[in-house]
Amino acid sequence: MKIIMLGAPGAGKGTQAKMLADKFEIPHISTGDIFRANIKNGTELGQKAKTYMDQGLLVPDELVCDLVVDRVKQDDCSKGYILDGFPRTIPQAESLDAALAEIDSKIDFAVNVEVPDENIVNRMSGRRACVACGATYHTVHIPTKVEGICDRCGKDLILREDDKPETVTKRLNVYHEQTQPLIEYYTKKDSLVEVDGTKDMNEVFDAIVEILGK
């Protein structure tokens, strides 16, 4: 089962990807993990990617696709895999489809975890992180015993820059512009499935499993 996870930043697709990977016993693959592994192992593709990253440049779509395809060719992907964070754009999706076709393979499902922007802004702006031990909380879902103080070490909690409403809104705008067109792309390929990501994490998971099992 070859799956792509789609959804806005903060929609919870990463959490669902991990849970699905555990259930179906297939690898959960993120481009960040692929980059780090290839750079650490000094592979030719990793060295190429590093030259761009060291300059603060985006790694070209073709090279990212080569890295992803190289990863999914490995033995642990024989039963399938879950791609999280790739593709992000239509050109990347087209490159991936073309590369997979060359090895007589294709994506089975593109799972879109649908959450309204307002929910995501509220969800992420409620996050709090400990400046000392790194523990994370949420003002609504995982509150601390004392407001603003870490339960674990007693230090102050902060609202990280990435979680501030204005930052989240900017990220969502980029998502809608670049990534959301993938929903139409995979709909046309008859591989898109959608779930309501506003529900409880386990309910979302059960809904995805039910769809994939049909």
Annotated catalytic residues are 13, 88, 127, 160, 171
Q: Which two tokens stand for residue 23?
A: 């259930």
Q: Which two tokens stand for residue 185?
A: 């792309």
Cα distances (angstroms) measured from residue 156 to each of 95, 126, 130, 151: 46, 15, 6, 10
Distance CA 174, CA 196 (A): 21
Distance CA 86, CA 64 (A): 9
Total Cβ atoms within 10 A of residue 106:
12
Sequence-distant (6+) residues with CB within 8 A of 140 are: 126
Question: Which of 92, 90, 109 shows the shortest CA–CA distance to 26?
Answer: 109
* Residue bearing tokens 């820059």: 161
Question: Which of 70, 108, 85 shows the shortest CA–CA distance to 16?
Answer: 85
Q: Which two tokens stand for residue 85?
A: 């964070």
Return the half-sphere exposure (C-beta side, CA atoms, 13 A cut-off) of residue 62: 1
